Chains A and B, each alone.
Chain A
Amino acid sequence: MSSSTSLTPLEISKWDGGERPMNASYGKLMMWFFLVSDAFTFASLLIAYGVVRYMHPAYEGAYSKFEFATSSDDFYWPIPEKVFNAFPGLHGMDIPLGFVGLMTFILILSSVTMVLAVEAGERKSQKEVEKWMLWTVVGGITFLGCQAWEWSHFIHGSAEGVVRDGVRIFGANLHVNEYGPQLFANFFFFITGFHGVHVTSGVIINIVIFYNVVMGTYEKRGSYEMIEKGGLYWHFVDLVWVFVFTFFYLI
């Protein structure tokens, strides 16, 4: 037998291994895929809110004269900006969405400090990463504090309450609320609560990353990519809040 063989050059595509077809590391890809699935979860919550809102009559009168429904015969959906119009320290003033706007701004700012942490990580500047991660954690905790205040205000309600079908109702719980149909309060608790859980876990992840930066773990590893992965999650939390802000509070 002849010992010579003729070789046809193999066609190698970038999917045959050894390369990253999407030009992103395994960890980052998996974070992206997780975020897509999480986006579907949040989207289904917000869409469910939309369905239930369509299932209830809308308020017909002038917006500036809005009052909460006083009869279960005409049980219209409340206008969110008339529910969330209180601001800490400014008792009795009507500031529609003022506090929620501030919360949105705080979360966007903590997203910005996260971008700066990622940027510093790419330059392997440990001190700067430490600084910006710490600011990000502070922003996240501030946001959670604001949310706690907002929940507390929502649960306790206004001083005079609302008389509906002859019964005076104060604030909100899972059985009754002064603002309107029960599902409004339930969706408020579930959607902002689920987002709050995400912020909480994001803060914990950021604290762990901050700890590792301080301990020099990433310095030894030679790569600050973990900041990028944590950053993706943190930006996603901010992104979800942008949608919650619009669909729950504005519309």
Chain B
Amino acid sequence: MAHFDASMTPEEIKKAKMKTVMKVTAILAAVTIVEFIFAFAWPDGSSRTILNILFLGLTFLKAGYIIMEFMHLGHETFLLKFVILFPLLFLVWLCVALFVEGQAILDAFLNW
């Protein structure tokens, strides 16, 4: 997890790891609280699009910390990271294609 090498004692390694765990926990908790406050206090007139983009960004931040630190993927070989993360890129296209389709269906319902 954190920076440690063979020269460190087990006690020091444990300390370094605990520091990372506590840091990631604090970040995850803080981001959840920020999301909650945004949902609670976003003013009526403000753009929901901006809010949704904010939520999306914060979600990927949380997901990144969970995958890279808790699931330890950030410390695996490049190959393993690639094999796990690359296929997920296909989901981006699935989102784009299907959301456009959904809007077209609504449009067809309302206008024909």
Contact = CB atoms under 8 A, between A and B. Distances in A.
Contacts of A36: 84, 87-88
B29 to A, nearest CB: 7
A251 B55 contact: yes
Contacts of A150: none
B47 to A, nearest CB: 12
A198 interface: no
A250 B32 contact: no
Contacts of A10: none
Contacts of B106: 54-57
B32 A50 contact: no
Contacts of A39: 88
B25 A112 contact: yes
Interface string B13-42: 010011001000100110011011001101
B95 A50 contact: yes
B105 interface: yes
A12 interface: no
B71 A119 contact: no
B21 A119 contact: yes
Contacts of B56: 246, 251
Nearest to A111: B70
Q: Which secondary structure characterizes the binding site on chain B?
A: helix
Contact of B98 (A47, A115, A123, A232): A47
Contact of A232 (B55, B71, B109): B71
A121 to B, nearest CB: 12
Contacts of B105: 54-55
Interface stretch (A96-104, A138-146, A171-179): A96-104
A53 interface: yes
B28 to A, nearest CB: 5
B94 A47 contact: yes
Contacts of A155: none
A236 B52 contact: no
Contacts of A228: 72
A50 B44 contact: no
5 contacts: A47-B91, A108-B32, A111-B66, A238-B70, A242-B66
Interface of B: 10, 14, 17-18, 21, 25, 28-29, 32-33, 35-36, 39-40, 42, 44-45, 48, 52, 55-56, 58-59, 62-63, 66-67, 70-72, 76-77, 79-80, 83-84, 87-88, 91, 94-95, 98-99, 101-103, 105-106, 109-110
Interface of A: 21-24, 29, 32, 35-36, 39-40, 43-44, 47-48, 50-57, 62-64, 81, 96-98, 101, 104-105, 108-109, 111-112, 114-116, 119, 123, 228, 231-232, 235-236, 238-239, 242-243, 245-246, 250-251
Given A24-B80, A51-B98, A55-B106, 20 more contacts: A22-B77, A36-B87, A50-B99, A52-B102, A54-B103, A55-B105, A57-B106, A81-B39, A96-B39, A101-B35, A108-B32, A112-B25, A123-B10, A228-B72, A231-B71, A235-B71, A238-B70, A242-B59, A243-B63, A246-B56
